[in-house]
Structure formats: structure tokens, C-alpha cells
Structure 1
């Protein structure tokens, strides 16, 4: 696992390298917030509270306009220099940043750093996080609207499940392939929760949220549906190139034309759009049958 974990930030940096050239258009801001959390970033934009966000990490990719901001790098491979260059008055982070010596440097420089509450990775926990962030950014009314919409969407999700006769096996492949090894999300991941809520079952089990699997194991899992995250899917020159992915072409999913593209940021954390994202998953998994 260690080798792949080293490769991931490099791939992300390469894929998002154009963002390092983004101009700081908020140089005059007295309050300058650097947000190093893709979940926080999306919620802040959903709250319409992004005015003082001057930079984010490269994994913050939603909403699309967030890519116009300067980036300070990958959240697990930060440099103090890149962060300090943005002259932050506050750093927002979710306890998933590194390396450790950079965190130590930032603390020694006494740059204010803030984490919001550590809630369960559930819809209720997401409601609580949105509510807390709404209070912090003086956007309580908007936060309440986001929570109401999220819960309304989840009600639709649960109502749809009652009309589904079976639970298809779903395989979620992150980044496509790397040296004939796939990074696959398991039932222990956020994606696993979302597939379960959508009414499906994950084709791969594991204690970790993501595992390396060989083409042989992919073929043996024989899922009904395969979801390829955007990075891997978009590396293919055309949709027809899916057949070139080792182990994929022999699966029921491929033979039945059930291989789909999904956005990585929709599958790895819970946020205001989670209900809508699960409704989209139901449409893919069940071919729109009975989906509101």
C-alpha cells in the first residue's frame, strides 16, 4: 500500500498542475483563509461564505469555480512555503494534513489553525458539521436550508429503495489503473456507505477504505456495475478504451454496458449534495427504474 500512497499525491499534482499558476485575486483581503479540506471547501461555497478563502488544496475541486483559486498543494504533502506565500490569517484543516514537520512549522509560526467538530461520517454528522460551519460564517439560515435539502433528498433515496427488487454488486475504481494495479474503494469507504444507501452492495470488502487489487481479482469480483472515477476514466482516449483495462472486459458490468464515469469528489466525503449524489447513483445502478 505504501508505494501507491506515495504515487497518489504525485498524480494529483500532475493532474492539477495548472492550478499552481492561478493568480491571487484577493491580495487586498485583510482576512485571508487557506482551506485545506475538500469537505470544508464545498460546504463554505454552499454557504456562500467563500469571500475570504484565498487558497485551497488540490483535492478541493467542487464547485468548479474553486479551481480558479491558487492551490497550496496536496493536503498530505504540504510545504510551509506554499502556505505562507498566501499570507494566511487563518488555516482551516480537518486533521488530515501532513507531513508532520510542516504542521509543526505552522504551529511554531503561531498561524491560527481551526478544525470544526469531528462528527460521525453519517448524514446526521454532516448535518451537524454544516450547522456548525453556518454559525461560524454567520450563515445560519443558509445552513438550515442546506440541511433541510440534504434530508429531503435522503428521504427520496430511502423511498426509492423500497421499489428495487435486488441489490446489484458495484465496483468503484479510483484513478483507473496504475501499473496494472487498481485502487478500489471498499465497503469501509464513504463510497461504500453511499452505495449501500443507494441500494447496492460493494463488490469488494476490506478493513481499509481503499485497496490495491490486481486485474485477476477485479475479474473475479464480477460486478454488475463498475464506477470509474473521473481521473481514471478521463485518461482513456475514448469510452471504447474501457476494453483495454485488464480484468474489466470479462465482467458482467462491461458485457452489459454498465461501466460509468463518476466524479471522485462525489464519492469520498459527505456534504450538502450527498443526497443528490446518491440519487444519481441509483439512476446508474438501476437504469432509472423506479428512481425519483
Structure 2
């Protein structure tokens, strides 16, 4: 499953118990059936599972690219992927102070002062990374060019590749893989346990006494890029975890993403549109919905019912996944009056 790299290519850019009190929603509509609700994670900083744990090194791991890598020093870590997931994970493991370089997507407050080694947002800079004298680089194939990652290996820097897929079921494995590479397997196990509990708690927060909603995920970048999510989009897993039905999948889509057409939207007939905040703003907010083919003929379009979330948060599938689900649940089922 490689849904997010495909989506990005198409756009040419692109406390141990969680409670809903930690998440907020901002609503511009009058009820949970009308208007826009923005799902917000109150604090996007990763919560360390431990305070500066001592890595058990050397650690030898086989990366996602099949290359065996030995990490002997985790004192200067560079993290680089399109989603900021690896940086989030390192911070959540308690090794945030060791991160000396990060990607643009790692935009949570405690990482902002760390040098950005993807100044264009997507492309690695070998010079920028080498100037940081890293002892290990954590990355994946969602970012490149591969020649830069190869250059770092040639320079003698351990470069560990991880699975680029971002899925709900893949969250524990990704945390475990990062923890093993950095020599903190015990902290990884604790973080997995906490994350899985938070995901379970968020799922349990979904009301059981109401009709099942049909929710469609739309990825938009102005009028140039309009994509409807289907099976394997990643958003479908979030929607299902929230007790709803993924409208794109239910309408018969067989691909992860499909260009929006009137026919596709009418067939999906969503009650709610799930979108990234930047995508919604790129079409002019709620008023811009009328320009999307078929939207006006759907319940969501007629009610202008949209739930949106920050672009860098919604599909990151990192240690904060439980918080994301809780915030979405709050936005979908219990929006603030307004």
C-alpha cells in the first residue's frame, strides 16, 4: 500500500490515557449536520514516553530497502520523510534532544528550531545534512532523491530506511522499527502500548446510538487537483475506526484515489466531507464547494458539512494517531455550538 506517495505525486507537491478533553473542534455551522468543523489536536508536540533514555548500541537492523545497517551512535539524528512521522516517533521515544535535522513536515512546536534539511519541502539536501555531522539518518522512499541518501551512505553515515506506507494498522510496527534502530526497544514497546490504548480509547468514544454516517475523503488543491479517496487511501481506515462508512469505497471505487467527477460524487452521496484544512482553503472555504463537480447533489454538499484537519496531521499515522482519532470523533459527533 503506497497511497500517500501517489497522492503527493499527483499534487506535484504535496499522558498515557487520551481523552477528548485534549482535543478541540471549531464549528461554524449550527448543528452536527451543517457547516464546517475543524478538528484540532490541542498540543501537537509528541509526548515522550521516557526522559532521554540511554540507547543500547550498537544495534543492527535490516531496513525497508533490505540493507542491513549497524547504528553505533544515536547522539545526532536526522529524520527525513514527507509526513514528519519519523521525527514525531523519535521525540515520542524520548530522544528529541538528539535530533539535529528534520524535514519540513515536522512542524510541531518543539521541532521548529531544528534545522530543516528539506528546504523545498520535499527534496533532501546532501550538503545541509552533511553539515550537521549526523551519526544516523532515518528516512524512507517517500522523500529523495535516492542519490542523496546513497551519498550519505557513501560518506559512512548509517542510513536506515523505513516503510513509507502510512496506515492505521502499520503504526505499531513503525514505532517498533524506529525504536530498534535507535537502541531503545523497551521504550518502543511502551510507546506502542500507549499508542494502541489511545487508539482503542478514541474508537470507544464514538457514539453507538446514532445512524452510521457516510464520509468521503477529498484531497483538493484548488481547481487543478480534486481527488476522491477509495479503498486503501488511509483516510478510509480513519473513517472506519470512527464508526462511519467510507463513502468512496462503498460507492464502488476500486482505487486508492480517483479524480472527482459528478458521477463519482453522486454515487458516493456522503453525509460528511473529510478534508485537509489547506485543501479546503485552496477552494475558498465552504463557498468553494459549489465548484466541485457533483457536490451540490450530495447531502454533505447541500448542508456544506465538512470536517477538516491540518494537512501535516491528518494522515501522519504516528504516535499521536489516537489523539487524531479523538479530535476527529469530537469534530464529527460533538462539535462545539457556534
**TM-score, length-normalised on structure 2?**
0.64
Correspondence list, 1:127-206, <5 A: 127-134=172-179, 136-137=181-182, 143-160=188-205, 163-179=208-224, 181-205=225-249, 206=253
Q: CA deviation at 1:195?
A: 0.9
Flag structure 2 segments of 5+ consecutive residues without an equivalent.
15-73
Change (3 A) 1:149 1:187: same
Q: CA deviation at 1:152?
A: 2.4
Change (3 A) 1:177 1:94: same
Q: CA deviation at 1:216?
A: 5.7
Query: Higher mean Cα deviation, 142-151 or 49-58?
Result: 142-151
RMSD, matched Cα? 3.5
Tell me, yes or no, if the aligned pair for 1:186 and 1:210 is still in contact at 8 Å. Answer: yes
1:137-162 deviation digits (Å, cap 9, x = unpaired) = 56566545433332323333443457
Higher relative contact order (CA 8 A, sep 6+): 2
In 2, distance between residues paired with 1:58 and 1:82? Answer: 13
2:325 equivalent in structure 1: 278
> 4+ residue stretches of structure 1 with deviation over 6 A?
1-4, 117-120
In 2, distance between residues paired with 1:221 and 1:118? Answer: 29
Tell me, yes or no, if the aligned pair for 2:149 and 2:159 is still in contact at 8 Å. Answer: no
1:60 equivalent in structure 2: 106
In 2, distance between residues paired with 1:187 and 1:117? Answer: 19
Tell me, yes or no, if the aligned pair for 1:78 and 1:102 is still in contact at 8 Å. Answer: yes
Tell me, yes or no, if the aligned pair for 1:75 and 1:98 is still in contact at 8 Å. Answer: no
Tell me, yes or no, if the aligned pair for 1:229 and 1:261 is still in contact at 8 Å. Answer: yes
**More helix by percentage:** 1
In 1, distance between residues paired with 2:323 and 2:332? Answer: 14
Correspondence list, 1:112-123, <5 A: 112-115=158-161, 121-123=167-169
Number of positions where the alignment pairs a residue of Structure 1 with one of Structure 2? 265
Query: Higher mean Cα deviation, 200-209 or 186-195?
Result: 200-209
Flag structure 1 segments of 5+ consecutive residues without an equivalent.
13-29
SS in 2 for 1:68: coil
2:34 equivalent in structure 1: none
**TM-score, length-normalised on structure 1?**
0.73
SS in 2 for 1:204: helix
Of residues 298, 302, 305, the one that matches 1:258 is 305
Change (3 A) 1:6 1:198: closer
Q: Does residue 97 of the first structure (1) align with residue 143 of the second (2)?
A: yes
SS in 2 for 1:211: strand
Tell me, yes or no, if the aligned pair for 2:167 and 2:237 is still in contact at 8 Å. Answer: no
In 1, distance between residues paired with 2:134 and 2:303? Answer: 51
SS in 2 for 1:97: coil
1:232-266 deviation digits (Å, cap 9, x = unpaired) = 134455x4534454233443113224212212333
In 2, distance between residues paired with 1:160 and 1:140? Answer: 30
Q: CA deviation at 1:226?
A: 0.6
In 1, distance between residues paired with 2:124 and 2:262? Answer: 33
1:108 equivalent in structure 2: 154
1:24 equivalent in structure 2: none
Tell me, yes or no, if the aligned pair for 2:135 and 2:157 is still in contact at 8 Å. Answer: yes
1:51-86 deviation digits (Å, cap 9, x = unpaired) = 12122222333x333233222226763343343343
Tell me, yes or no, if the aligned pair for 2:77 and 2:99 is still in contact at 8 Å. Answer: yes
